[in-house]
Chain A
Amino acid sequence: MAAPCVSCCGALCYRLFIGSRVTLAPRQGFWKTAAAEFQRGAGSQLLKPIHTTVVTTKKNVPVSRHETYTEEFIKKQIEEFNIGKRHLANMMGEDPETFTQEDIDHPEQIFPKQRAIQWGEDGRPFHFLFYTGKQSYYALMHEVYGKVLQVEKHQNQLQVKGVLPEKTEIRDLIGSRWLIKEELEEMLVEKLSDQDYTQFIRLLEKLLALQCGPAEEEFVQRFRRRVPTQSQQQLREPVQYDERGVAFSACEGKRKSARAEAVVYEQGSGRITVNGIDYLLYFPVLQDREQLMFPFHFLDRLGKHDVTCTVSGGGRSSQAGAIRLAMARALCSFVSEKEVEWMRQETTKLLSHRSLEPCWWADQPATAAWLWSRKNWDPNSDVQERADWTQADGCGGMGGHENVCCPQRHGVSPPEHRGGVVSATAPHCIRAHVLLISIRLSHSSSQRVFITTTDCPSTQVMGCLHIPVETDSKH
């Protein structure tokens, strides 16, 4: 079903090896490079020669691309191939007698699967669905649909006989998930579109919905992956004992920018001390105290534990949330597995914390808005920094890197600049689609390039680019 994939490393090794052994040999008046010779001789489906240099000693002799080889030549190549294989085994430290292709092939994690050439020497493709463009995918769909039809036919037959199909028990659909699109692409070594993937999954679900036999089940299981139970990922802190022999458990928690560490004692009367202060005084707001009581109330252990915690950072509410998380984690060590799962399902305050999205937009280049004012505009001014163009919100210096000087009014060309480049940030109205229409060589030390935009309704010259050119190099 999958296209014949040759791990490129094995081929590479062979190629490198054999290539070094086969020397340039004259044959029928043509000189050929080692690479080409090797590839013909190997006889397997390797890449077509792409760097073939043909040098003729005779003139006016046509170049023939498709050579026929004699039997002895092919046999000789096979012998040399086998000898090369043994040499390779020696180099790799393996036993030459039992050296096979599998030993050479490196694991696929190092070298990704690649497609071998899908057609033979005569140009005919091997797979019957080659011309669909995605042969593996369509072959797979064809196979699955075949199975669906088969199962339906079988069920119809059973119904005709009057035998009802037995209801199979529910498969473990919870602990597994379908392959994702990337995994399927990797399996088939083919690019797929989202619609292809959706269709494939739908077809598999249709197959599952029918009462299919064990063979089909196994086939479908190939496209499912295990999903781990989340509660197993929760680490349980070991219970520690202090000098008086009282069991306690210490854990950390965080929420936004608050960091808390809670020590929960197994025996207690429900006292909570935060940073040395009683929680009633530290959290005057009822909502925060409710948060502190939440884990205990959920597990029905309200007056049974003593807690000492330290907290820093954040605000009132985030400190309460951080302590809540820390306490919940600490409680996991005193509590059964089932209750841990309940806590997780109920809140995941065990596994994660809530935090703000970091301010990613602060690093984006600011495209400054430029404002032109007629009041400050001086058409005869010679200065590089023009007063008529100002940046709107003062976040200058970060925007685009094109060296475009301030745009001109139509018909007025700027005075000649002697050298130097006006490196102002680009006005936001000129973005993409800048066309260089002409490069005019001038006698001045700078070249002038006129720029126009495609979105401009008229072909108004929007600006000109000054490129400093050194007088020595004349381009």
Chain B
Amino acid sequence: MAARAAKVARGWSASVLGVRPAACWLPGLTQVRWSRYGPEYRDPRVEKEHYRKPAAELTEEERYDRELRKTQLIKAAPATTTGSVFEDPVISKFTNMMMKGGNKVLARSLMTQTLEAVKRKQFEKYQAASAEEQATIERNPYVIFHQALKNCEPVIGLVPILRGGHFYQVPVPLAERRRRFLAMKWMITECREKKQRRTLMPEKLSHELLEAFRNQGPVIRRKQEMHKMAEANRALAHYRWW
């Protein structure tokens, strides 16, 4: 109880004391990314099941959290979140990364066509396969998509560190979000640059996704090259100080 009170009080004091990023007021520097919302605004939570849970089932933490949020200001939900069952944050992120020039309509349609293409290919395989093999074939395009991206995520990355006038590529563990970003980035780059002249994006992307799902293909190879380079440079690992 006392510990929680202390934690809460400290949490409050942090918000009251207005913990702001240090770069706020440096002279000569303008903040490039800003928001209309002040630091006291919290992020919204969209899943309606969270709110439908009766009070009896909540843990103490959750109950406390709910009470707390009553007094807090909360930001408005962005236009991409809907709380619908069909919404997938990974797919949304991937769509945004594929988008060029703000053309979300095109990006989204390419994404749906890709998923459709994945499904069709898997279905064809399913039809042509024997009974034992049918059990192993995955037809849900979302599962394939998630698994493919997970297979493409590198575990360790290289960071250029300046020492004695030279830049050395130092192996460094990557954060979760950096890994996801790299996987998606490599996938998109691969599909844009290394395709035949008249192939469309959905076709190429569905092909790459299926290959990555099976741990094959150029994106997986790129990830493995990254791992090999990190292994080769492991002597430089002590250059890292964080």
Contact = CB atoms under 8 A, between A and B. Distances in A.
B22 interface: no
Interface in B5-31: 5-6, 8-10, 12-13, 16-17
B5 A170 contact: yes
A198 B79 CA distance: 39
Contacts of A187: none
Contacts of B80: 287
Given A227-B71, A317-B79, A173 B16 contact: no
Contact of B16 (A168, A177, A294): A177
A178 B13 contact: yes
A86 to B, nearest CB: 49
B139 to A, nearest CB: 23
A348 to B, nearest CB: 5
A298 B71 contact: no
Contacts of B105: 285
Given A177-B16, A347-B46, A209 B9 contact: yes
Contact of A345 (B9, B74, B84, B108): B74
B6 A342 contact: no
Nearest to A358: B36
A388 interface: no
Sorting the interface of chain A by its residue count into under 10, 10 to 19, 20 to 34 or 35 or more gives: 35 or more
Contact of A294 (B3, B9, B69, B82): B82
B17 A197 contact: yes
B9 A229 contact: no
Contacts of B128: none
Interface in A166-192: 167-171, 173-175, 177-178, 180
Contact of A346 (B44, B67, B70): B44
B209 to A, nearest CB: 22
Contact of B9 (A205, A293, A356): A205
Contacts of B34: 357
Nearest to A233: B73
A174 B70 contact: yes
A408 to B, nearest CB: 29
Interface residues of B, number: 42
B195 interface: no
Contact of A347 (B1, B2, B8, B74): B74
A110 interface: no
Contacts of B9: 173, 205, 208-209
Contacts of A175: 71
A288 to B, nearest CB: 8
Interface string A279-320: 000000111001101100110100000000000000001001
A287 B48 contact: no
A218 B55 CA distance: 31
Contacts of B234: none
Nearest to A209: B6
Contact of A171 (B5, B44, B70, B83): B5
B1 to A, nearest CB: 5
Contact of A211 (B2, B73, B79): B2
A355 B44 CA distance: 17
Nearest to A179: B16
Contacts of B48: 297-298, 300, 342, 346
Given A178-B13, A298-B48, A348-B44, A170 B4 contact: yes
A210 B9 CA distance: 12
A87 interface: no
Interface in B129-160: none
A227 to B, nearest CB: 5
Nearest to A197: B17
Contact of A297 (B36, B70, B84, B104): B84
A210 B83 CA distance: 43
A429 to B, nearest CB: 16
Nearest to A208: B9
Interface of B: 1-6, 8-10, 12-13, 16-17, 34, 36, 44-46, 48, 51, 64, 66-80, 82-84, 104-105, 108
13 contacts: A174-B71, A208-B5, A208-B9, A228-B71, A287-B80, A287-B108, A290-B82, A317-B79, A345-B45, A346-B44, A348-B74, A354-B75, A356-B36
Interface of A: 167-171, 173-175, 177-178, 180, 194, 197-198, 201-202, 205, 208-211, 227-231, 285-287, 290-291, 293-294, 297-298, 300, 317, 320-321, 341-342, 344-349, 352-357
Given A297-B82, A298-B48, 15 more contacts: A170-B4, A173-B9, A208-B6, A209-B5, A287-B104, A297-B84, A298-B83, A300-B48, A320-B79, A342-B48, A345-B70, A346-B45, A346-B74, A348-B75, A355-B36
